[in-house]
Amino acid sequence: MKIATTVLETRNTVKNWRKEGYTVGLVPTMGFLHEGHASLIKKCREQNDKVVVSVFVNPTQFGPNEDLEAYPRDLEKDKALCESLGADLIFHPEPSEMYKNPKTYMNIEGLSDNLCGKSRPIHFKGVCTVVSKLFNIVSPDRAYFGQKDAQQLAIIKKMVQDMNFDVEVVGCPIVREEDGLAKSSRNTYLSDEERKAALCLSKSVKKGMEIIKEGISAKEVLDEMKKVINQEPLAKIDYVSMVDSLTMEDVETVDRDVLVAMAVYIGKTRLIDNFSFEVK
């Protein structure tokens, strides 16, 4: 497995693979890899001749009061995991390699206004920009994203369509701890007490999945879900919402495919979880 820190080295490596006729998959990550990432890398390994994992804590997707500095990093552990899963290349650039007095950005209207975009106004602009850059650097056949970041996945699918990227976007299911908590690099912020409290997210998701059905009102589902979270004293809801799976706009009734998503503060740590429901 190779580690590249420059755009040029990454590009040249991929170009040489292309000459040999290999297909290339990309797993974009911010590192501190957990089993959620591992599931993406495994899927990528199955579907492509060559596997690229990018490890880059992207500064442009963090707001001024967010956790850019605190975001956990452990490159040695990430390397070992990628190696064990059969990755061929880690792209691990410094911020200065990725951003040189940047003026250009990719952004998306509508899909980024609701849910996480509401509390993190510049987040998806940063995500769209860095993912576009990674696509241009690696030019992968396929790219892998977790369903845990459901709004991100919907936005990237739309971006790929709108901008004619020649990349297949593959979404992969949420990976959970045994007790239900969705795997996240940010779980490392939680104290023991908070770790227990954080279970209210997955419990709320479970409750929502039990009661959702075609024709039911969003309010009925969301009220039950919020009740579960509000029983937990350490939890503070950022949002619990039901949106159209494609447009990310609020829906009032389950009459189409929907995403039911939440962001909840456990102490100072903001966690997300979600589930999708398809109308037959």
**Residue (161 or 231) nearer to its own copies, CB:** 161
**Residue (11 or 42) nearer to its own copies, CB:** 11
Q: Which of residues 187-216 bind its own copies (CB under 8 A)?
A: none
- Among residues 10, 37, 62, 167, the one annotated as catalytic is 37
20 belongs to the binding site for its own copies (CB under 8 A): no
Residue pointed to by tokens 């770790």: 195
Shortest Cβ 64–its own copies spacing (Å): 17
- What single string gives the DSSP state of each residue in 198-232? THHHHHHHHHHHHH--TT-BHHHHHHHHHHHHHTS
Burial classification of residue 40, based on how many CB atoms lie within 10 Å of its CB (0-12 exposed, 13-18 middle, 19 or more buried): buried
145 belongs to the binding site for its own copies (CB under 8 A): no
Among the listed ranges 104-112, 188-196, 223-231, 271-279, the one in contact with its own copies (CB under 8 A) is 104-112
228 belongs to the binding site for its own copies (CB under 8 A): no
Strands 269-277 and 258-266 turn out to be antiparallel
Amino acid (one-letter) located at 268? K
37 catalytically annotated: yes
Helix (H) or strand (E) run with residue 124 in it? helix 123-138
Q: Tell me how far apart the alpha carbons of residues 77 and 31 are, in angstroms, rounded to a whole number.
A: 9
132 belongs to the binding site for its own copies (CB under 8 A): yes
Structure tokens given for 267? 């102490």
Shortest Cβ 87–its own copies spacing (Å): 21
Among the listed ranges 65-73, 95-103, 144-152, 184-192, the one in contact with its own copies (CB under 8 A) is 95-103
Q: Which of residues 173-192 bind its own copies (CB under 8 A)?
A: none
Cα 37 to Cα 33, 43, 105, 175, distances in angstroms:
6, 10, 26, 9
Shortest Cβ 101–its own copies spacing (Å): 9
Q: Which residues are catalytic?
A: 37
- Note the residues at the interface with its own copies (CB under 8 A): 7, 11, 100, 102-111, 128-129, 132-133, 136-137, 139, 158-159, 161-166
